[in-house]
Chain A
Amino acid sequence: MPEHADLFVRQLMLHRKRIYSFILTLVGNTSDADDIMQDTAALMWEKYAQTEEISNFAALGMRVAHFKVLEFRKHQYESKLQFNNELFDSVLGGAVIMNETLDDRFEAMKKCLSKLDKKSRQLIQMRHQQKGQTIRDIAAAIKMPPHTAYKHIASLHDKLVRCVQRTLREEGLL
């Protein structure tokens, strides 16, 4: 594989979770976020192939991602499940600030995951390991009614969010 392509892939892998998290916050849906991530990567490759020198890869990624999200919103404007422009702007502003502390949050998330009991950790992994896996599949695997599994997984994520907040505060990062 050409050297510059290899370099691009490495850069993308390094910054992908930052760009993906950003997209997911803006569109609020994992499937749409996946699609937009693909389009973003494609456009970034196109840009990269033209210049071969990007002083800030992550910055470019965020910029292109935002562009792609706005394109997506334009095409989906009739969808009811889309934030209005005012709310979207607020989410955008918050997502930018959030991204600034992403590395700290990632470290805090690891610590918080380690504090969960084994079963809870496995549940989180099941939820995220295969994005296409449904609650019904997970519920069947753990022998729990789907609605109960749904609430339980939501509760676990809530715990993680509050744990990350607490960890960052304790470390003086918030």
Chain B
Amino acid sequence: MSETQNKYGLLSQLIQGLLSGELTDVEFQHLNQMLSKDPKCLQYYIEYTTLWGLLDETNGFSDDKDLSPGYAAALMQALADEERTAKTITLPKKQEPQELIQKVERKRSEYKINRGSLLTIAASIAAIVSIILFVRFAPPSKGVQVAVLVDTINAKWADVDGTMQNGTPLATSTKSMLLREGYAELVFNTNARVVIEGPAEFQLLAEDVVCLNYGKLYATVPPEAIGFTVNTHTAKVIDLGTEFGVQADLSGDTILQVVKGKTTLVAGKKSSVQVDKGTAKKVLRSTLNIAPVQYDDRLFVRHINSTTRSLWHGETVLNLADIVGGGNGLGNVHSFIGLNPSTGHYSSSIVQRAQSSKNPYNPVPDSKFIDGVFVPDGAQDGEIVISSLNDRFPCPDARGNFSHGISVFTGDIEKQHKTIRPAVFGGHNYTDNQIVMIHSNAGITFDLQAIRQSLPALDITHFKAFGGLSEALSAEANFPDVDFWVLVDGQIRYEKQALKLKGSEVFFNIEINPQDRFLTLIVTDGFRRTDPPRAFPAWHNDFFYLVDPELSLAETLD
């Protein structure tokens, strides 16, 4: 007998002993070692026990019936009982196993079905760390609603009967759905959430199985939906409590990227591997081999919001310059955009001459994230309105005039607007950066709540930036000097008063709390009643810059 035959002969006996409860500790450790060290032995174990299970369930295939009559009768009896009281049906007791070889005592239980002992289903199986969901057995029923379309951005569908609006129920079907372009977010009955990026073709097979023929799909799977599965032509991804993205190419290759938790990736019908957070794998159609690939944190759109036109790829910062320019913070400013603090309107030009504002506080209709803008003037009654909820701030006497207002830009600004100086700090001209310019006297208030609501389960944790009065400003008699404030809900979180060219840098990293509503930035002209007369108005040449201002994000803990 060959060595291989000996090995599997021994393995067969050990497995049989294990199944029958007749294995000693030493024998079990030996079996454990064989299965842990040799994948072929592990495979053999799985095939052996599967076969054993089939034989058990068919009584050794003695009567060609797939069920144990005793069990079925008992089950039906139990199910037919009334709900109120539990009945115990005792079936023929198993014989106590005789000792063949030295074995460890195992607990035996009575073979019974007790309706009263049925457990209330625990909806959450979040305690399960590694669980498998796999399934593709009998084809699922067709036409069963399994998901709802909850949001789309620029979505164009092909061959769709009827409209595809938010709230449209989606059912299992043999027919594929084709998203020609754009994005669609689906929520399944299991609460699994999926973002599809077109062009994509996919099929809903069950409430927890999607077939992706080609395109990109990102799945966010809560604990109660663990086991959510995505099939492609070459692979099967089984969720083990996670967030993951799947890209299926037209060539048939599949890329899996796991952002959180872990999944099982099955290539073809043979090999499988567990893929953990922060890793990516590729399955080639030609070979069905699984190979590691570069992980790209921004490869998939994870969340969409059509109201704010947000496509969130997992960004952890928001670009405040983009928000000042009317965006959602996930993009970049590419060209000059001016915002008039006395009207709340955007323009590609700027107000160069001094103006005053008729309205104390102006909403910005073209931005969902800016609560309002204003021209601070503390001369009137000592306090100015800084939010739509009438928060007030005791601003210094700022004359109420402004020029240039608020703007955002990148690149060489002097080529775009001759009167605006570039942002120069420490001798470096920040042309490659996102710049927010606030010329006195102007203020802007951001609605943090609106920003939070546009993002999935994320909190704003910090606001940070650096900047000040640009070194490119002329240090002539009309020397610039400003007061700068950062307020949260009307309370000062950062201030720099009497900021002049020398020592004018500001740098801050302000903590933002979940309950904070409004973030306000104010630049005033630095005028003091005790100042000597000036050749130029106090608001002249007051170009204040913030370089790459950003809001930091973190996942909500609850």
Contact = CB atoms under 8 A, between A and B. Distances in A.
13 contacts: A25-B53, A28-B18, A59-B227, A89-B274, A90-B35, A91-B35, A96-B272, A109-B51, A125-B60, A128-B56, A133-B95, A147-B100, A151-B13
Interface string A72-114: 0000000011011111011111111111111001100110010
B137 A18 contact: yes
Contact of A5 (B18, B35, B80, B132): B80
Interface string B197-213: 00000000011110000
B79 A8 contact: yes
Interface string B235-272: 00010000000000000000000000000101001101
A67 B128 contact: yes
Interface string A132-160: 11111100000000110011011101101
Contacts of A46: 118-121
Contacts of B172: 55
Given A81-B25, A154-B12, 6 more contacts: A1-B80, A17-B54, A30-B52, A59-B137, A84-B32, A155-B12
Nearest to B20: A30
B55 A128 contact: yes
B170 to A, nearest CB: 13
B104 to A, nearest CB: 6
B131 interface: yes
Contacts of B45: 25, 91
Contacts of A20: 53, 56-57
B134 interface: yes
B349 interface: no
Main SS of chain A's interface residues? helix
Contacts of B66: 13-14, 16-17
B264 A96 contact: yes
B48 to A, nearest CB: 5
A55 B141 contact: yes
Which of A9, A81, A135 counts the most chain B CB atoms within 10 A? A81
Contacts of A128: 52, 55-56, 58-60, 62
Interface string B313-332: 00000000000000000000
Given A42-B117, A56-B206, A125 B140 contact: no
Contacts of A66: 128, 131-132
Interface in A40-81: 41-43, 45-47, 50, 53, 55-59, 62-63, 66-67, 70, 80-81
Interface string B260-293: 0000101001101010000000000000000000
A122 B53 CA distance: 17
B125 A67 contact: yes
B353 interface: no
B354 to A, nearest CB: 69
B389 interface: no
Contacts of A101: 269
Interface of B: 8-9, 12-13, 15-16, 18-23, 25, 28, 32, 35-36, 42-62, 66-67, 72, 75-76, 79-80, 93-95, 97-98, 100-101, 104, 106, 108-109, 111-113, 115, 117-121, 125, 127-128, 130-138, 140-141, 144, 146, 172, 206-209, 227, 238, 264, 266, 269-270, 272, 274
B60 A95 contact: no
A94 B43 contact: yes
A31 B21 CA distance: 8
A80 to B, nearest CB: 5
A143 to B, nearest CB: 16
Given A8-B79, A28-B19, A80-B104, A126 B135 contact: no
Contacts of B209: 56, 59
Contacts of A129: 59-60, 62
A170 to B, nearest CB: 16
A28 B75 CA distance: 24
Contact of B121 (A33, A50, A58, A94): A50
Nearest to A173: B269
Contacts, number: 289
A109 B61 contact: yes
Interface of A: 1-2, 5-6, 8-9, 12-18, 20-25, 28-35, 38-39, 41-43, 45-47, 50, 53, 55-59, 62-63, 66-67, 70, 80-81, 83-87, 89-102, 105-106, 109-110, 113, 124-129, 131-137, 146-147, 150-151, 153-155, 157-158, 160-161, 164-165
A109 B100 CA distance: 28
Which of A28, A91, A160 counts the most chain B CB atoms within 10 A? A28
A1 B76 CA distance: 8
Nearest to A160: B51
A67 B53 contact: no
A55 B144 contact: yes
A63 to B, nearest CB: 6
Contacts of B100: 134-136, 146-147, 150
Which of A15, A23, A97 counts the most chain B CB atoms within 10 A? A97
Nearest to B11: A158
B206 A150 contact: no
A107 to B, nearest CB: 11
B79 A28 contact: no
Which 8 pairs show the lowest CB-CB distances between chains A and B? A21-B53, A132-B94, A59-B135, A125-B60, A128-B60, A17-B57, A58-B137, A158-B12
Contact of A125 (B62, B130, B131, B208): B62
Which of A110, A128, A136 counts the most chain B CB atoms within 10 A? A128
B53 A24 contact: yes
Contact of A94 (B42, B51, B53, B269): B42
Contacts of B25: 80-81
B33 to A, nearest CB: 10
Contacts of B136: 100
Contacts of B125: 63, 67
A50 B137 CA distance: 23
Contact of A134 (B28, B97, B118, B264): B97
A140 B449 CA distance: 79
B76 A9 contact: yes
B213 to A, nearest CB: 20
Nearest to A70: B128
A28 B206 CA distance: 31
B75 A9 contact: yes
